[in-house]
Chains A and B, each alone.
Chain A
Amino acid sequence: MTLSLVDDAARAASSTRPGGAERRGRMNARRRGTRAAPPLSVGAGLGLGAAVIWMTVLVLLPLAAVVAEAAAGGWSEAVRVLTQPQTAAAIRLTLVQAALVTVIDVVMGTAIAWVLVRDRFWGRRLIDVIIDIPFALPTVVAGLVLLALYGPQGPTPVDVANTRVAVTFALAFVTLPFVVRAVQPVLETLDRDVEDAARSLGADGLTVFGRIVLPALAPAIATGAALAFARGVAEYGSLVLISGNLAMRTEVASVRILGYIEGGDLAAAAVVATVLLAVSLAVTLLLGAIGRVGGRRG
Chain B
Amino acid sequence: MLRLVVIAYLVLLVAWPVSLVFTGALSDGLGPVIDTFTDPLVLRALRLTAVAVLWAVVLNTVFGVGVALLLVRRSFPGRRLLAALVDLPLAVSPVVVGLALVLVYGSRNGWLGAPLAQAGVQIVFSTPGIVLATTFIAMPLVLREVVPVLEEVGTDQEQAARSLGAGPWATFRRITLPAIRWGVVYGMVLCLARAIGEFGAVKVVSGNLIGQTQTATLSVEELYMNFDRQGAFAVAAALSSVSIVVIIIVGLLRTRMEKRRGS
Contact = CB atoms under 8 A, between A and B. Distances in A.
Interface stretch (A109-117, A193-201, A290-298): A109-117
A144 B233 contact: yes
Contact of B89 (A43, A59, A144, A148): A59
Nearest to A260: B99
A144 B141 contact: no
Interface string A133-164: 11111111100111011100111000000000
Interface in A25-67: 30, 33-35, 37-41, 43-44, 47-48, 50-52, 54-55, 57-63, 65-66
A114 B2 contact: yes
Interface in B234-263: 236, 239-240, 243-244, 246-248, 250-251
A51 B98 CA distance: 21
B24 to A, nearest CB: 6
Contacts of B199: 138-140, 236-237, 240
Contacts of B187: 4
A66 B112 contact: no
B66 A140 contact: no
B99 A8 contact: no
Contacts of A34: 72, 75
Nearest to B103: A65
B190 A1 contact: yes
Contacts of A8: 144
B3 A121 contact: yes
A37 B247 contact: no
Contact of A136 (B74, B197, B221, B236): B197
A212 interface: no
Contacts of B2: 111, 114-115, 119
B3 A119 contact: yes
Given A58-B139, A133-B14, A137-B197, A254 B96 contact: yes
A5 interface: yes
Contacts of B57: none
A2 interface: yes
A108 B95 CA distance: 29
B228 interface: no
B35 interface: no
Given A62-B104, A66-B103, A236-B93, A146 B221 contact: no
Interface in B184-212: 187, 190, 193-194, 196-200, 203-204
A51 B63 contact: yes
Contact of B200 (A51, A135, A236): A236
B13 interface: yes
A77 interface: no
B105 to A, nearest CB: 8
A241 B224 contact: yes
Contacts of B141: 1, 4
Contacts, number: 266
B203 A63 contact: no
A149 B16 contact: yes
A261 B99 contact: yes
Interface of A: 1-5, 8, 30, 33-35, 37-41, 43-44, 47-48, 50-52, 54-55, 57-63, 65-66, 69, 108, 111-112, 114-115, 119, 121, 127-141, 144-146, 148-150, 153-155, 169, 172-173, 176, 230, 233-237, 240-241, 253-255, 257-258, 261, 266, 269-270, 273, 276-277, 280-281, 283-284
Interface of B: 2-3, 5-7, 9-10, 13-18, 20-21, 24, 63, 66-67, 69-70, 72-76, 82, 85-105, 111-112, 132, 135-139, 141, 144-145, 151, 154-155, 168, 187, 190, 193-194, 196-200, 203-204, 217, 220-221, 224, 229, 232-233, 236, 239-240, 243-244, 246-248, 250-251
27 contacts: A1-B141, A4-B144, A39-B74, A43-B168, A47-B66, A48-B70, A55-B86, A61-B111, A65-B100, A65-B104, A66-B100, A111-B2, A129-B247, A130-B10, A138-B240, A139-B199, A140-B197, A140-B220, A141-B21, A141-B243, A145-B17, A145-B20, A149-B20, A230-B91, A234-B94, A266-B103, A276-B92
Given A48-B70, A254-B95, 6 more contacts: A35-B75, A44-B74, A136-B193, A145-B18, A172-B13, A261-B102
